């Protein structure tokens, strides 16, 4: 199975600050990488697919990038409603998820 390693496990940032999440795939998955946002007590929601394509309705402050097997999710200007856990997921093969990064407001 393809392993997805996310870092950090948690992070705290101030409102308006830029935030970065990292995700490393154990092998080449090309751009078959998605990011999900899971707010407390809710189901995950698709934010980004194809490493950098924004799902319909997702605010433009979210963006994704790829460098080889390293992927990143960026929030340009942190908003209160962005408090959530963020998961990466590869869909190059049978799907596997990262362990998540929990985002809090400082």
Q: Which stretch binds another protein (CB under 8 A): 14-22, 58-66, 67-75, 86-94?
A: 86-94
Q: Which tokens in the block code for residue 103?
A: 């985002």
Please report whether residue 87 would count as binding another protein according to CB under 8 A. yes
Sequential DSSP letters for the chain: ---EEEE-SEEEE-TT--EEEEEEESS--TT-EEEEEE-TTS--EEEEETTTEEPTT--TTEEEEEETTEEEEEESS--GGG-EEEEEEE-SSS-EE---EEEEE-
Considering the complex, state which of residue 4 and residue 78 has its C-beta at the smaller distance from another protein: 4
Contacts with another protein by CB under 8 A: the residue count is 21
Please report whether residue 81 would count as binding another protein according to CB under 8 A. no
Among 21, 44, 78, 86, binds another protein (CB under 8 A): 44
Please report whether residue 64 would count as binding another protein according to CB under 8 A. no
CB burial of residue 21 (10 Å; 0-12, 13-18, 19+): buried
Among 2, 13, 45, 52, binds another protein (CB under 8 A): 45
* Chain contacts with another protein (rule: CB under 8 A): 1, 32, 34, 36, 43-46, 49, 55, 87, 89, 91, 93-100
């Amino acid at each position: 199975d393809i392993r997805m390693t996310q870092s950090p496990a948690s992070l705290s940032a101030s409102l308006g600050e830029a935030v970065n999440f990292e995700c490393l795939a154990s092998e080449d998955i090309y751009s078959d990488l998605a990011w999900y946002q899971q707010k407390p007590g809710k189901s995950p929601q698709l934010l980004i697919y194809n490493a950098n394509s924004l799902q319909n309705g997702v605010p433009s402050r979210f963006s994704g990038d790829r460098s080889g097997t390293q992927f990143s999710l960026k929030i340009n200007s942190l908003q209160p409603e962005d408090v959530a856990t963020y998961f990466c997921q590869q869909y190059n093969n049978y799907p596997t998820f990262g362990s998540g990064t929990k985002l809090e407001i400082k």
